[in-house]
Amino acid sequence: MAILATDTSILIVDDHPLYREALVSAVRSLGDHIHIRVSGTFDEAIVSLNEGEEKDLVLLDLHMPDSKGLSGLSQMRARFPSVPVIIVSATEDPATIRKSIAMGASGYVRKSSDIEQMRVAIQKVLSGEIYTPADIDLNVNADGEETELIERLNSLTPQQTRVLGMLGKGLLNKQIAYELSVSEATVKAHVSAILLKLRVDSRTQAVIMVNSLTNIDSAVDGAT
Cα separation, 106 vs 98, in Å, equals: 11
Look at residue 216 in the predicted model and tell me its pLDDT: 65
Look at residue 223 in the predicted model and tell me its pLDDT: 41
Cα separation, 127 vs 119, in Å, equals: 12
Cα separation, 39 vs 77, in Å, equals: 17
Side chain identity at 82, as an amino acid letter? S
Rounded to two decimals, the pTM is: 0.80
User: Widest CA span of the chain, in angstroms?
Assistant: 55
pLDDT in tens, the chain (224 residues): 345 546 889 999 998 888 888 888 888 888 778 889 999 999 899 999 988 778 999 999 988 877 777 888 988 988 898 999 999 988 888 888 888 998 899 999 988 888 888 888 998 999 999 999 888 777 666 666 777 888 888 888 889 988 998 898 889 999 999 999 999 999 999 999 999 999 999 999 998 888 877 776 543 344 44
Look at residue 85 in the predicted model and tell me its pLDDT: 96
